[in-house]
């Protein structure tokens, strides 16, 4: 539904804007209209600078929410965006719903909230960030309890042992790391260069299971104590690609996820995907597909998506070109937007995971991000069943830069603004609540 039909008080300058602020705003003309709007929006319709928000504004703000990306949005490199801290305090004090939606992962949400508070200069006991952080793997918290309690998962990532502990806290009762597997049977991987570092911490396999190397790999008469993996979870960017690709490949060619077996369906041209991944093998879940990420180094670094490309390459080579079947979380995956939307509808940051029983409808959610391929694309493509509109705002403080070759990003946002403070000002004005950047970035609490 066009924005102009939804704003609490239709605003004259929005009349020509209905197309540009909708989710479908992907063509060139609309994009320019949106950018133009941003430049026009200067005349106040209602001022918040002089005091508390009035009732009409309060109602308008109670029907919207914000989803903030973190890296490149709340800070640029190591430097917090000026005014971001004050802006967050301000929207918190006005009871506006918001979450932080990041493709980062590999740690617990509370660890991320603490580090983000510190980087923004907020104290930990300020109720601004806690229970609002959604990491790439956080949606797994909401997985079916039977899957978490009954099944066995293989988990890997930058720090598999930390990932396991977080997965245990999510409710996954049996989480196995690559280190557990090579500790259980060193024939799986005949190299020991990382045994004293990355793979140093291991635990016995659950329920007394073993990794046997005496099984005929094609036999379906699998011993009762053979390790069976039901899901593979790549939590974030793995460090030992060699071992991880080996073990994941072993499982994807196995009979029903029993390590050390080989499915007799592999390569059967009469079956879908030539029989590959057609024999009850574990599902492969990747927590995000970001190919690159930005560090202090001048050239972008490889992320989890690069690992997936390497795995796809090996898979294609070993299967004669079969498709690697997997599911992805993280932006732009719709699983992640569904999860974030549900959290915002049941917003309860006083609860441990930010979700309460009570549901409050939303009219619009504004996604503020720096990455067109993930933040913007995901928000543009997301169409929740309840009809809420997700609007994408691109900031210039992160990975996207306007260059002579790329004047506009491939995935076009509703609007491009300088930074996150400007993004919130734009969104609030779009709701008919006029605010200035100065007010949002000021220390005043009203
Ligand atoms: Mg970012």
Q: What is the pLDDT of residues 109-163, one digit of tens each?
A: 999 999 999 999 999 889 999 999 999 999 999 999 999 999 999 999 999 999 9
Residue with tokens 């918190």: 92
Average per-residue pLDDT for the chain: 87
Fold assignment, 3-136+331-414+429-440 = Rossmann fold (3.40.50)
Residue 446: predicted pLDDT: 53
Percentage of residues of the chain with pLDDT beyond 70 = 88
pLDDT at 61 exceeding the cut of 60: yes
For the chain, the maximum distance between any two Cα atoms, rounded to a whole number of angstroms, is 78
Average pLDDT score over residue span 19-45: 35
408 alpha carbon – ligand 1 mean position (Å): 17
pLDDT band at 445 (very low <50, low <70, confident <90, very high): low
Residue 406: predicted pLDDT: 81
pLDDT at 28 exceeding the cut of 90: no
80 alpha carbon – ligand 1 mean position (Å): 13
pTM reported for the whole predicted model:
0.85
304 alpha carbon – ligand 1 mean position (Å): 14
Average pLDDT score over residue span 273-286: 98
How is the chain split into domains, by residue range?
A: 3-136+331-414+429-440, 139-328
171 alpha carbon – ligand 1 mean position (Å): 28
Exposure string of 417-434, with b = 16+ CB inside 10 Å and e = fewer, is bebbbbbbbbbbbbbbbb
433 alpha carbon – ligand 1 mean position (Å): 27
Identify which of 70-79, 139-148, 167-176, 402-411 has the greatest average pLDDT.
167-176
385: Cβ contacts below 8 Å, ≥ 6 apart: none
How far is Cα 331 from Cα 367, in angstroms, rounded to an integer? 11
369 alpha carbon – ligand 1 mean position (Å): 6
How far is Cα 399 from Cα 303, in angstroms, rounded to an integer? 14
239 alpha carbon – ligand 1 mean position (Å): 22
pLDDT at 42 exceeding the cut of 70: no
Which pair of tokens denotes residue 256?
């029903």
372 alpha carbon – ligand 1 mean position (Å): 9
Tell me the CA end-to-end span of the chain in Å, nearest whole number.
32
Phi, psi of 345 (to 5 degrees): -65, -35
23: Cβ contacts below 8 Å, ≥ 6 apart: 379, 380, 382, 383, 389, 390, 391
Asked if the domains 3-136+331-414+429-440 and 139-328 are classified in one and the same CATH topology, the answer is yes
Which of 60-74, 219-233, 286-300, 326-340 is predicted least confidently? 286-300
8 alpha carbon – ligand 1 mean position (Å): 31
Looking at the DSSP bridge assignments, the partners of residue 231 are 153, 283
Residue 39: predicted pLDDT: 38
pLDDT at 345 exceeding the cut of 60: yes
242 alpha carbon – ligand 1 mean position (Å): 28
Long-range contacts of 261-270, Cβ-Cβ distance < 8 Å, separation of 24 or more: 261/215, 261/217, 261/218, 261/219, 261/222, 261/226, 262/217, 262/218, 264/218, 266/319, 267/319, 267/320
Residue 11: predicted pLDDT: 28
Residue with tokens 């977080």: 166
pLDDT band at 51 (very low <50, low <70, confident <90, very high): very low
70 alpha carbon – ligand 1 mean position (Å): 6
326 alpha carbon – ligand 1 mean position (Å): 24
Residue 272: predicted pLDDT: 97
pLDDT at 347 exceeding the cut of 60: yes
42 alpha carbon – ligand 1 mean position (Å): 28
35 alpha carbon – ligand 1 mean position (Å): 21
How far is Cα 344 from Cα 388, in angstroms, rounded to an integer? 11
Phi, psi of 37 (to 5 degrees): -55, -45
185 alpha carbon – ligand 1 mean position (Å): 40
pLDDT at 311 exceeding the cut of 70: yes
Which three-class secondary structure state does DSSP give residue 327? strand
Which pair of tokens denotes residue 119?
């980087």
133 alpha carbon – ligand 1 mean position (Å): 14
pLDDT at 26 exceeding the cut of 70: no
38 alpha carbon – ligand 1 mean position (Å): 22
CA angle 62, 444, 89 (to 5 degrees): 50
Fold assignment, 139-328 = Rossmann fold (3.40.50)
Average pLDDT score over residue span 316-340: 97
């Amino acid at each position: 539904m066009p924005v102009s039909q939804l704003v609490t008080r239709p605003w004259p300058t929005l009349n020509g804007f209905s197309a540009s602020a909708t989710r479908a705003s992907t063509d060139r003309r609309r994009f320019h209209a949106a950018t133009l709007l941003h430049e026009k929006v200067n005349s106040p319709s209602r001022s918040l600078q002089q005091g508390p928000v009035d009732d009409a504004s309060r109602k308008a703000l109670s029907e919207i929410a914000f989803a903030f990306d973190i890296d490149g949005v709340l800070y640029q490199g190591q430097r917090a965006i000026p005014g971001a801290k004050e802006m967050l305090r301000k929207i918190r004090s006005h009871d506006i719903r918001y979450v932080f939606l990041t493709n980062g992962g590999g740690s617990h949400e509370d660890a991320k909230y603490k580090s983000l508070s510190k980087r923004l200069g907020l104290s930990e006991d300020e109720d601004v960030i806690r229970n609002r952080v959604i990491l790439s793997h956080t949606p797994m918290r909401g997985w079916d309890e039977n899957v978490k309690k009954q099944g066995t998962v293989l988990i890997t990532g930058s720090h598999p042992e930390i990932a396991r502990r977080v997965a245990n806290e999510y409710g996954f009762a049996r989480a196995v790391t690559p280190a557990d597997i090579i500790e259980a049977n060193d024939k799986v991987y005949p190299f020991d260069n990382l045994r004293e570092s990355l793979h140093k911490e291991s635990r016995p396999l659950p329920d007394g299971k073993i990794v046997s190397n005496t099984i005929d790999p094609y036999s379906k008469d699998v011993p009762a104590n053979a390790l069976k993996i039901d899901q593979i979870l790549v939590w974030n960017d793995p460090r030992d690609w060699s071992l991880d690709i080996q073990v994941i490949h072993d499982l994807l060619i196995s009979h029903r996820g029993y390590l050390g077996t080989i499915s007799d369906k592999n390569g059967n041209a009469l079956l879908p995907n030539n029989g590959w991944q057609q024999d009850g093998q574990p599902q492969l879940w990747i927590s995000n597909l970001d190919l690159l990420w930005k560090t202090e180094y001048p050239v972008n670094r490889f992320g989890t998506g690069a690992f997936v490309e390497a795995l796809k390459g090996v898979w294609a080579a070993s299967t004669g070109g079969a498709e690697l079947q997997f599911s992805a979380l993280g932006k732009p995956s719709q699983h992640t937007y569904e999860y974030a939307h549900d959290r915002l509808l049941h917003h309860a940051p006083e609860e441990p995971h930010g979700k309460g029983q009570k549901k409050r409808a939303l009219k619009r959610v504004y996604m503020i991000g720096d990455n067109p391929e993930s933040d913007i694309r995901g928000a543009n493509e997301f169409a929740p069943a309840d009809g809420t509109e997700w609007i994408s705002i691109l900031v210039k403080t992160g990975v996207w830069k306007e260059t002579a070759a790329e004047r506009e990003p491939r995935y076009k946002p509703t609007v491009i603004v300088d930074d996150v403070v400007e993004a919130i000002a734009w969104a609030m004005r779009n709701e008919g609540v006029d605010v200035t950047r100065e007010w949002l970035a000021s220390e005043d609490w009203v």
